Amino acid sequence: MTRMTLNLYALRAFEAAARHESFKEAAVELAVTPVAVTRHIKWLEVEFGVDLFERLHRGVRLTEAGCELRDELVPAFEAMVRGVEQVRQRSGARTLRIGCETAFAKRWLAPRLDAFHALHPDIHVELELQNENDEPDGLIFYGFRQKFGRDRYLLFRETVFPMCVPALLEAEPPLKQPSDLEGHCLLHDDSDDWWQRWFEAAGVSGVKAHSAETFFSHDRLYEAAMEGRGILMGDAMVYGDDLVAGRFVRLFSETLDGNQFIFALRSSRRRRELDLFLAWILDACKTHRARMKDVIEI
């Protein structure tokens, strides 16, 4: 019997969307855009000749065919993960699986991993974007999560303020006071809350915090800011390297205190490797906080 060729990217997108019953949440888990998830699922529906989701006014719902495919694929992907992990364990490879929030992983942690590998060349760190059902060795998360790990360590607390590329300082209208932001595009993630709260803290009323571009992908939000399409509300630690390098400049002195980034460890056969990674990341965060002190306390 000849095996059919499988589009694993499309099937993975469907599997994630089916578990969450949400294209948006699947996109966050897979670190892609909701448009990419939609495109993969549409490809499957055309290929199979059947609808897998009902498109509702607010969200999506699995069809009967979608439920049948979900029931087959979810255990299959879980079995693949188990198989890979079993092979890793037999090989004795010292791999740490670290779950991480997208922006922190890409803007801060990934560029620094070479420094960890230089100290510990025999330990490979694998960064993963996690959902509630995954079981990494350690998890760096934003805010508060009850279920994962007993040992928790504070990496840093958010300090948030507007920032942009230097070229926008030459644009019209001039950016001399917070109310001047009304004449510029304000870039958002999927929430208007940060901008609204910042304007309140700065004592500015009447500015339309909602009249802006909204992005559901961190990569697209960052790219838009780097292209000079608008002003980003960013965290001093996550975007600290961009600020120090001059790719972004800080606007105004008002700041917001945000949530905290926590590193949680679970009981693991990789505990020695986890302890080495913990010591390294705590020291790296301490060094970065000192480096950012002048930026944060202007």
| pLDDT single digits (tens) 261-278 | 888 887 666 788 899 999
* Confidence (pLDDT) at 289: 86
Q: How many structural domains are present in the chain?
A: 2
Choosing from 87, 122, 137, the residue where a domain stops is 87
159: Cβ–Cβ under 8 A, 6 or more apart, which residues?
235, 236, 237, 255, 256, 257, 258, 296
Choosing from 44, 72, 87, the residue where a domain stops is 87
15: Cβ–Cβ under 8 A, 6 or more apart, which residues?
70, 73, 74, 77
As a whole number of angstroms, the distance between CA 198 and CA 204 comes to: 9
Q: Which domain holds residue 152?
A: 94-298
Query: Would 58 be classed as within a structural domain?
Result: yes
Tell me the DSSP string of 5-34.
P--HHHHHHHHHHHHHT-HHHHHHHHTS-H
- pTM surpassing 0.85? no
* Confidence (pLDDT) at 216: 65
The ranges of the chain with pLDDT < 70 are 1-5, 84-93, 130-134, 144-150, 190-192, 209-213, 215-216, 267-269, 298
Query: Would 1 be classed as within a structural domain?
Result: no
* Confidence (pLDDT) at 164: 93
Query: Do 50 and 165 have their domain in common?
Result: no
CB–CB of 61/23 below 8 Å?
no
Query: Would 2 be classed as within a structural domain?
Result: no
* Confidence (pLDDT) at 2: 44
Query: Do 83 and 149 have their domain in common?
Result: no
Q: What is the dihedral of CA 172, 173, 176, 180, to 10 degrees?
A: -140
Query: Would 3 be classed as within a structural domain?
Result: no
The one-letter amino acid at 280: W
